[in-house]
Every structure is written in C-alpha cells, then in structure tokens.
Structure 1
Amino acid sequence: MPKLSCSTISVIFVAQRTELDADGYARAAAMMVEIAARQEGYVGMDSVRGADGLGITVSYWTDEASAKAWRDHPDHAEIRDAGRDRWYSDYSLHVAQVIRSYDWKKP
C-alpha cells in the first residue's frame, strides 16, 4: 500500500465489467498501471475485482493537478473510450482528499 499524506488526492473508480474481450481488457489495464506510475505526482494504486466483475480501483496523487493531468492523458483518454465502448456496463468515479490515513500489518 502506498504511504499517503493528508494532502493526497484519491481517485476512486468503481466499475462493472462486461464479459467482452477479457484479454484486451487485461492488456489495457496493465498498460494503464504502467503509464500512471510514470506520471508526475503518482503515489500508488490499489485495485480489486470480484467474481461478478465489479471492481474498485483507487489511484493516489500528490495533488489535484496531477490527478487531472492523469485524467487528461491522451493514452488514458483512449483507453477510457474503449472501456465505455466494450469493457464496462457502468462506472462511477469519485475524487476525494485524504484527511487521515493508517496502516497496520500483522507482526
């Protein structure tokens, strides 16, 4: 898990996958992780997906400008359009500022 500060911006993406083109989706998702990680202001990402296709991905950014730059990245925009076309039946996106963050690990 990424270390977060109280000024970190979280972009929370909740999406329902379709059953279309699973291989294409996997390739695109891997590419998005790689590209995001190279963006200025990227802090990290957490992602889960259930057997029913519902997934939650949270990306973390140092500030709102970095999060917006990721939103506007041309490769991200292209993949977003493909997602709307074939990989998602619906999604919601929420942007929030972290006000508190804790970590715990079993000793």
Structure 2
Amino acid sequence: MGEDRHGQTAIVFTSARTADDEEGYSRAARAMEALAAEQPGFRGMESARGADGIGITVSYWANEESAVAWRAHADHRAIREQGRERWYDWYRVTVARVERGYSWTGG
C-alpha cells in the first residue's frame, strides 16, 4: 500500500463468477497472478470478490505497451478463453491512466 502509481496504466477487471469449478478457477487465478508478476512493466495487483460472486481486480503496469503485451501473452489468452467458457457469467475491462492517488492507514 502507499506506492505512488502516478503515470501507470491501470487495468480494471470487473467480473461475475459462475458457481462452476472453484478449484480450477483458484488455480488459474494464482497462476495468472504469478505469471503477470514476471512480465516487464508489471507494477502490482489488488483484488477483491464479494459473496455475490462480483469481483474487481486492478493490475498496474508501467505503461500502455506493457499492459497490451500482457493482454497478448499466449498463456493469459488461453486462460481468458477458459474463463469465458466456464468461470465467468460476464466481465468488463476498463483501461485507465493513473493521474493521482493517495492512501491512508489507520493506527
């Protein structure tokens, strides 16, 4: 928390999960997070999912080029297809450039 993300590209992935194949989904999600972390330009990821199955994952990239390269990665593309077939009812992707941000930590 607290990292300055000014100028980074944020990919906001909002989705609704199916009730199918929780184990397969969890395994794929962990693999994609690990793979993303190895990619040039990866700057971090934050994710949350509610009991209703709606989730939001934000991945941060150094720039648009590194975000596009991640989208085109063969393993990511293959998992994306599996997601469409069995893990998601729907999803939406929003791409944004971070202009400013702040954080607070209570104590």
- State if a TM-score over 0.5 links the two structures: yes
Pairwise TM-score range, normalised by the shorter structure: over 0.9
Residue pairs, 1:46-61, within 5 angstroms: 46-61=46-61
RMSD: 1.0
Structure 2 CA distance for aligned equivalents of residues 90 and 4 of structure 1 = 31
Letter of the 1:66 partner, please give it. S
Residue 2 (structure 1) shift: 6.2
Letter of the 1:33 partner, please give it. E
Percent of aligned pairs sharing the same letter: 50
Letter of the 2:106 partner, please give it. K
TM-score, normalised to structure 2, is: 0.96
Partner residue, 1:62: 62
Say how many residue pairs are matched: 107
Q: Contact 2:15/2:88 (CA < 8 Å) preserved in 1?
A: yes
1:28 matches 2:28: yes
TM-score, normalised to structure 1, is: 0.96
Partner residue, 2:14: 14
